[in-house]
Every structure is written in structure tokens, then in C-alpha cells.
Chains A and B, each alone.
Chain A
Amino acid sequence: MDFVRKDILSVEELTGEEIELILDTADSMKEISHRDIKKVPTLRGKTIVYFFHEPSTRTKASFEIAAKRLSADTVSISASTSSIVKGETLIDTSKNLEAMNPDVIVIRHQASGAPHMIAKRVRASVINAGDGMHAHPTQALLDMMTVREKKGTLSGLRIAIVGDIAHSRVARSNIIGFTKMGSSVVVSGPPTMIPTGIESMGAKVVYSIEDAAREADVIMMLRIQKERLGDFLFPSDREYANFFGLTHEAVSKARKDALIMHPGPINRGVEIPPEIADGPQSVILDQVENGVAVRMALLYLLIGGSRHASDN
């Protein structure tokens, strides 16, 4: 099939076939990263702008490496060093960047919907690298790639997502992605962190981590955001670890071959004990490796080959 999208803004807009195509492409891209010379000329002459309004280690490095392995030229702008600090609006900044004819703008922004606002106004392809609490499609794709790689399928699985569901774009994108591919998703966390109506997105809510983990094929832990203490969502790291963090007991309720995942960064000893994060079931670093492959695949599908995104 042809991939004819201009932008990657959310998992919601992708069809199951498109997700399969992206993951198939990523599988073949992964091989490049294992070569002695990790570079192909596919995107030579293409320009990619990274526009990160929020701190990022993994996602930004991953996109940068993905682009370089495909021979694209990259420019990186962060909020603190851009004209935003001089009072320029996001739309003006985007239009100015557009005037320099980039092929892709990769944006991360703390405001949900910011990438959509830009995508409507620029000819370049826009990839959402995380917007507020809304979506993180490349994370969900790399998570699905990892699960498919280990389990051989994305259908009929039970995926447990545990933690601050309310503030997590990773949770939202994965709930949509995994249910779209035929798996069931159960979420768990303190009731203060379960958003109103999450069931409507396809997730089942349970309160205890043991119930969430029961018979799960995948246990995905989310980072507890310490800066959220001020929002009265939980009393302390200690109580969070005691009642909502992953335990060996919870892991024992899951299927024997269950995968332990985490989008990072990890708070060791809070949502996940170090020995589980580093244990045999953990695929946390596989997720990171696959992130590069997924982002190479997306860049290739958006602007690789003869067509240009703006032709669509």
C-alpha cells in the first residue's frame, strides 16, 4: 500500500493497515542500525527541523539519529534559545521556519494540539513528538513495534498500563493504538490519576495493580511525575511505591512471558523497583532501540522516495 499522509499527529488518525506498514518498514530499518556503517543515502538533501518546547532526551536523540542514519540534514531549535523567548508566537515561528523550506518539522510542545495548529499552516510534514497530555504517536508506534517483535502479534493481547493515566500522552496513544490493533487495554493507578471517561477510549479501569497485571501480556509502567505533588494527586513517593508501584507479586499475576515496559525516564524505586526494571522480562531498552527504527520508518514514509509531502 501507499503511505500518503502529510503529517503524523496522532495514532488515532492512522488506520490499522498504516500502522502495520509503519512497523514493517521499521523492522527493515532496524537492520541499518546494526551495520558497521550506519548510514544510507535515502534522505540526502532533505531538511528536518526539530522544534522542542519541552525537555527531551530519548525522543530528541532518537529522531536525530534516525535522520542522520538516513542522511538528512537536521536543525534543532529549543524554546529557550528560540525567538519564542522574545515574544514571537508559535504560528509566526513556524511560518518563519517554513520560509526556509524544511521537509519535516518535528515538534514537541507542552500545549495539547500545538502540532495540529502548526500542521495546518505549513507545507512541510509535521511529526508530533509529544503534545501536552494528548498524544505521543511515535512512542506508541515504537511500543507496538517492540510488543509485535516479542509476541509476534498485536492482536488478542492484554496490555496493562499503570500510573498517571490522566496526564499521560503515552497512555492515551497506546490505549488507542493497541485497541486499534485488536488487543485489550486495562489501566490502573490512583483514582486521582484516572481521567473521566477513559473507558470511552477503549480502556478498562481497575484500581489495584494486581488486578491490572492479572493475565497481562504486557505491563507498561508510566513515570510518576514528581512535579504533580502540588496537584494533590498522591501523598508521597513512598506511599505511591507501596500501593501503586510495580511489585514482584503483581508481576507474578501476569503471564509468565509478560513484557515489562516503561517509556522512560524511570523513577527507580517509585513506580518500578530497579530489579524489575533491569530484570529478564524488561524490554525497556529494546523500546529505545526500536524508537530509532520507527522514526527512520516515519521519515522515510513521509518524505522518502520521489514524492514530496506537499504533493499530497
Chain B
Amino acid sequence: MRLTIRGGRVIDPASNTDAVKDVVVEDGKIVELTPGLEGRGQKSKIQNPKSKIIDASGKWVVPGLIDMHTHLREPGHEYKETIKTGTLAAAAGGFTTICCMPNTDPVNDNRSITDYILKMAKEASYARVYPVGAISKGLKGESLAEFGELKEAGAIAVSDDGHPVMNSQLMRRALEYAKRFGLLVISHCEDLYLAGKGVMNEGVIATRLGLRGIPNAVEAGMVARDILLAEFTGGRLHVAHVSTEDSVRYIREAKKRGVPVTAETAPHYFSLTEEAVLDYDTNAKMSPPLRTKKDVAAICEGLRDGTIDVIASDHAPHSSLEKELEFDAAANGIVGLETSLSLSLKLVKDGILDPMSLVAKMSTNPAHILGIPAGVLKPGVSADLTIIDPEIPRTIDIHSFKSKSCNSPFDGWNLQGKSVLTMVEGSIVFEEM
């Protein structure tokens, strides 16, 4: 089957391409990228009854988007999400590759869970799934998980996710031990003692609402610790969902020094502030919490100047059982796979990122950080790509989500731009053209 994506604006940071080109896909691979393809070879394609042409004029054709921070909830919490529904949501959101965090039940701290996730993902086949293994057995922060075995089974990185490694000795050893297996260590930076029973950003709104606050130092303090440990051990550190001004500053300064650190933020940290909590909306409850305008500005600046390498959704499906509760009792997190791209496209509208940088943060950079053969459009590579309509108006409707959960604070938002076609290994896994 030969397929030509015709006339789209091909944006591929890996090859520094931003030009109108035709992309020819055959047998799951990109075989050609050519301007003015009509002139040659077209005849034979038209004669081939199996050939197909997709008109992508006015649209962007980009390497398949990669979300390196999601939660697929399977095994253990299938009522919130399954690997099938999660990868469907990924495809709908324009993502061809996602990483899933290990906080399943049982925890992904061993080969059998990693095997299971990969098997289910293969069966679903809507997106490529790279499991992230646990840093500590059972996410308990007491002993190292078997990184070697996790890596052999297919884990791409290690993280204790929302159970931050409070024991600095364990974190040091994790960074050291991971080096032997080339594993990235992803850190959810949160000082649990300092966070205490806080449920939202500490500040005037928390005070007014009578909710316990979480100061910025909860995140920035651990960012600083982990940067120092990465610098000392040489282990590769990736800071998850950066939300504060201080964190951005520390990461910027560390990168200048050559520390092996990369960072991501999530769309909600540049789209919302703590004011979203004003109605005690539990869909605005997350960890780290939504911060202030000043922090949002710092996140945008971090994205702009390259301090923040990646936009990842931190897709965290929860059902009404976890969310329709008192604010104090509600679970942290929001779904993000199906809103991430539209929210991020706003950065381009607002002049914070150019299209090339946006694609880099949602595809090229995560591929590079994870060390996976993705995030590039060139002949010979697997045809993992996303077609984006950057102008089409879109009203977020949580009921249209492919995800099993709809815990999103963006319901009803009017945005511009979305993915209209998602292709994994030459197969169209989502199409709304």
C-alpha cells in the first residue's frame, strides 16, 4: 500500500525542514519526501489501485507526537483507563508514542508487569507504548527495583512518579545504578514533608479558600537536590512537570554548567493559574499544583529559551469516585492526551514558540531524551506522523474524549488547531479530516 500525503507543510526539527512537501509512505515506512512530486512517479501511483492520496494542503505534517508522561492505569485501575482506551486517546490527540508511568497495581517494578503492558499495547496497536519502570520496589522508596531486568523487558526509563524519592541516598544510588543500563531517571520533584497536607498552591487564593497551601519550595528544593545529584553521579535526570519559576531558574543554570538534566512541563502549567481552583473545582487539583501568573510566565520563558525541553501531558485519568469529592479528599491529576496539542498550539499563536520549536518539544526532543528511533521524518524511518490543522476552531468537549475519564478543567474551552490524522507505522490510527 502506497500512500502520499500531498502538499502539507512538513515541519521536522530533526532535519531542520520547514517546507511544503509530499510525503510518500509505503509498507509502513516513509520512502520519499519531495517537493513537486506530481512531476514524476505520479502516473504509476495513480495506476496502482491500492495507492491513496491524502490532501494535506494548509496543514502541518510533523513527526508523530510523543508524550513521555502518561498514566494508563492498567493493570489495576481499568475503570479509569485501559491501555486500549489510553492509546486511543493518544491517537486522537496526535500522539504516536507515549510513555506510561509505573504507578499501576501491581506497580511496574518488574519484568512481568512491563511484559504485560507491552503485550496489551501491541494488541491495541493505536500508539507505541514505552513503559517507565519504578525506581524503588513497590514505589516505597526503600530499595532499588531491578533496573537491569526492567530494561531488558523494555522499560525506557525509571521513575517513582508521584511517590517522590525522599531518601537522598536512594536517589543518588538510583542515578548511579541507572547509568549502567543507560536508563533515564525521571523525577517528580516534591518534598513531601514540606508539602504536608497542602492541596493547592500556597498563596492568597489558598488563604481565601481556606485550603492548605503547597509552597513553591516544595518543588524547587527537590529540583535543586536532584540536579546536584545528577551532576555528582553523572546519571541522566529528567525533571517531570516543572511548575515553578525557581525550578526553571535552577534547571537553566544547571544546563549552562553541563549537568545531564532535561525537563518537561505540562500544558496546564502554562495555560492555567491557581485561580482555576476558585470554585473548589477538583479538576484543577493536581500535583504539582497550579501556580501563579509569575510562574506561568517563567514556564513560558523556559519553553522559549530551551530550558524546558519537552511538553508532556501528565495524562492522569480519574473517575468521579476520585474527583467528585471534597477538595481535600479528591485525587490529583487531569487527563491531557486529547487537549495537549490544542493547548500547546496556543503557544505558537501567542508568539512564545515557533512551529518548529513546538514540534521539537512534542516529538523530536522527547525522542532524543528517551533514545528512541522516532521524532524524525526521513526516508527509511517508520511512518509515524501526525497531520495537524493549526487553524481549525475547536471547542473542548470532555464527552467526546476517547479516554475513559473526563477529568479535565478545559471543558468548553474554545481553542484553535488540533490533530486531524495520526499514523503509526503507516497505519492510520486516527482520522478526522
Chain A interfacial positions (CB closer than 8 Å to B): 190-192, 207, 229, 231-236, 238-239, 242-243
Q: CA–CA, A304 to B180, complex, Å?
A: 50
Q: CA–CA, A235 to B148, complex, Å?
A: 9
Min CB distance, A181 to chain B, in Å?
30
Known A-B contacts A239-B146, A242-B149; the reply to A232 vs B169 at CB < 8 A is yes
Q: Which residues of A contact B170 (CB under 8 A)?
A: 232
Q: Which residues of A contact B145 (CB under 8 A)?
A: 235
Chain A: CB-nearest residue to B152: A242
Min CB distance, A33 to chain B, in Å?
43
Chain A: CB-nearest residue to B149: A239
> What are 22 of the A-B contact pairs (CB < 8 Å)?
A190-B176, A191-B176, A191-B177, A191-B179, A191-B180, A192-B173, A231-B169, A232-B143, A232-B144, A232-B167, A233-B173, A233-B177, A234-B177, A235-B144, A235-B147, A236-B146, A238-B146, A239-B147, A239-B148, A242-B148, A242-B149, A243-B148
Not counting A191-B233, A232-B174, a sample of 20 additional A-B residue pairs whose C-beta atoms are within 8 angstroms of each other reads A190-B180, A191-B176, A191-B177, A191-B180, A192-B177, A207-B179, A229-B143, A231-B169, A231-B173, A232-B143, A232-B144, A232-B173, A233-B177, A234-B144, A235-B137, A235-B147, A235-B177, A236-B146, A239-B148, A242-B148
Q: CA–CA, A221 to B206, complex, Å?
A: 59
Chain B interfacial positions (CB closer than 8 Å to A): 137, 143-149, 167, 169-170, 173-174, 176-177, 179-180, 233
Chain A: CB-nearest residue to B147: A235
Could you tell me if A207 and B149 are in contact, using CB atoms closer than 8 angstroms?
A: no
Residue among A190, A231, A232 facing the most chain B CB atoms (10 A cut-off)? A232
Q: Which residues of B contact A234 (CB under 8 A)?
A: 144, 177
7 nearest interchain CB pairs? A232-B173, A235-B144, A191-B176, A239-B146, A243-B148, A235-B146, A192-B176
Chain A: CB-nearest residue to B141: A232
Q: Which residues of B contact A190 (CB under 8 A)?
A: 176-177, 180
Q: Which residues of A contact B137 (CB under 8 A)?
A: 235
Q: CA–CA, A190 to B173, complex, Å?
A: 10
Q: Which residues of A contact B148 (CB under 8 A)?
A: 239, 242-243
Known A-B contacts A239-B146, A242-B149, A243-B148; the reply to A207 vs B180 at CB < 8 A is yes
Could you tell me if A235 and B143 are in contact, using CB atoms closer than 8 angstroms?
A: yes
Q: Which residues of A contact B169 (CB under 8 A)?
A: 231-232
Q: Which residues of A contact B143 (CB under 8 A)?
A: 229, 232, 235
Chain B: CB-nearest residue to A207: B180
Min CB distance, A201 to chain B, in Å?
19
Q: Which residues of A contact B174 (CB under 8 A)?
A: 232
Min CB distance, B173 to chain A, in Å?
4
Chain B: CB-nearest residue to A230: B143
Chain B: CB-nearest residue to A208: B180
Q: CA–CA, A243 to B182, complex, Å?
A: 14
Min CB distance, A157 to chain B, in Å?
26
Chain A: CB-nearest residue to B148: A243
Q: Which residues of B contact A233 (CB under 8 A)?
A: 173, 177
Q: CA–CA, A112 to B146, complex, Å?
A: 32
Min CB distance, A242 to chain B, in Å?
6
Min CB distance, A7 to chain B, in Å?
36
Chain B: CB-nearest residue to A229: B143
Chain A: CB-nearest residue to B234: A191
Chain A: CB-nearest residue to B165: A232
Min CB distance, A97 to chain B, in Å?
38
Min CB distance, A234 to chain B, in Å?
7
Q: Which residues of A contact B146 (CB under 8 A)?
A: 235-236, 238-239
Q: CA–CA, A234 to B177, complex, Å?
A: 8
Q: CA–CA, A205 to B167, complex, Å?
A: 27
Min CB distance, A56 to chain B, in Å?
29
Min CB distance, A163 to chain B, in Å?
14
Q: Which residues of A contact B180 (CB under 8 A)?
A: 190-191, 207, 243
Min CB distance, B176 to chain A, in Å?
4
Q: CA–CA, A160 to B173, complex, Å?
A: 24
Q: CA–CA, A229 to B137, complex, Å?
A: 13
Chain A: CB-nearest residue to B175: A191
Q: CA–CA, A190 to B149, complex, Å?
A: 14
Residue among A191, A236, A239, A243 facing the most chain B CB atoms (10 A cut-off)? A191
Q: CA–CA, A242 to B148, complex, Å?
A: 8
Q: CA–CA, A30 to B337, complex, Å?
A: 74
Q: CA–CA, A238 to B146, complex, Å?
A: 9
Chain B: CB-nearest residue to A236: B146
Q: CA–CA, A229 to B177, complex, Å?
A: 13
Chain A: CB-nearest residue to B136: A232
